[in-house]
Amino acid sequence: MTETTGAGVQGADKGQMVYEGKAKRVYEGPQPDTYVVVYKDDATAFNGEKRGTIVGKGVINNRISNILFRYLETKGIPTHYLKDLSERETLVRALTIVPVEVVVRNRVAGSMAKRLGLPEGQVLPYPVVEFYYKNDALGDPLVNEGHVTALGWASRAEVAAIQTLALRIGELLGQFFTPRGVALVDFKLEFGRDSAGGIRLADEISPDTCRFWDATSGEKLDKDRFRRDLGGVEEAYAEMLRRVEVQA
């Protein structure tokens, strides 16, 4: 089975499509308990209210995510990543996704600034972890640990593991990006259970899911350029790929 999705022809063996989200399609993988993730150029913001295309985004996000997943794996972080398949396709472990988005904030930005009336860019004294219920129809509402456990989305032990992993991932990403001149303002993570019940990092780590600012100028190098009509979106994504690929 082959597919063309934006730039580049994809040729990885994959089965039926099992899910299509705003930025990716997920197919049955060639081996049991695997999926093939295909990154799209589609761009959305504000829970789908704003839609567009960022040319080449799928290729860039796939590349950046896989570099970072491999880096995190070397540091002891369990992820769903298995191997690159093509410029837009990655083979991953099948996980049961915990329906909670985990946001780690190092600085005030985005919804936190709006919600609390604080200036963007204010440095927090320590990282803040937030949970959001994954539900587009409800606008991914902010929830707390009690909601997550009481509603059965994850056990107390799993929530503790997710929080520990999220903070450790933040430390490791900071170590990765600082020498590359990038300030990691905040980032969104998703986690899932593997076939043995272990918690693993899933989804992606990219300019779609992180706020990346140039450490010197404060220039935004992420999806906020699309959200806020700042222009230079494709250039910002390409710049982030260039920095990620630099051997610092």
pLDDT of the residue at 3: 34
pLDDT of the residue at 13: 82
Q: Are residues 125 and 86 in the same domain?
A: no
Q: What is the pLDDT of residues 74-99, one digit of tens each?
A: 999 999 999 999 999 999 999 999 99
Answer whether 189's CB lies under 8 Å from 104's CB.
yes
SS3 113: helix
Report the number of distinct structural domains present in the chain: 2
Alpha-carbon distance of 117 to 132, in angstroms, equals 19
What single letter denotes the amino acid at residue 244? V
Alpha-carbon distance of 19 to 13, in angstroms, equals 16
DSSP 178: G
Helix (H) or strand (E) holding 78: none
Across-strand partners of 166?
Answer: none
Neighbours of 176 (CB within 10 A): 19
Side-chain-side CA neighbours of residue 242 (13 Å): 9
Residue 70 lies in a domain: yes
pLDDT of the residue at 184: 98
Alpha-carbon distance of 81 to 108, in angstroms, equals 30
Q: Are residues 74 and 106 in the same domain?
A: no
pLDDT of the residue at 50: 78
Residue 58 in tokens: 């799928």
pLDDT of the residue at 9: 37
pLDDT of the residue at 247: 81
The domain boundary, picked from 77, 94, 111, lies at 94
The predicted model scores a pTM of 0.92
Answer whether 143's CB lies under 8 Å from 131's CB.
yes
CATH number for position 115: 3.30.470.20
Q: Give backbone dihedrals phi and psi of 222, rounded to 5 degrees, phi first.
A: -150, -170
Q: Are residues 102 and 221 in the same domain?
A: yes
Q: Are residues 74 and 196 in the same domain?
A: no
Residue 159 in tokens: 């929530």
pLDDT of the residue at 132: 98
pLDDT of the residue at 243: 98
> Of 178, 187, 175, which Cα lies nearest the Cα of 223?
187
DSSP 132-155: EE--GGGT--EE-HHHHHHTTSS-
> Of 231, 197, 17, which Cα lies nearest the Cα of 5?
17
Q: Which residues of the chain have pLDDT under 70?
A: 1-12, 47-49, 248
Q: Are residues 77 and 133 in the same domain?
A: no
Residue 127 lies in a domain: yes
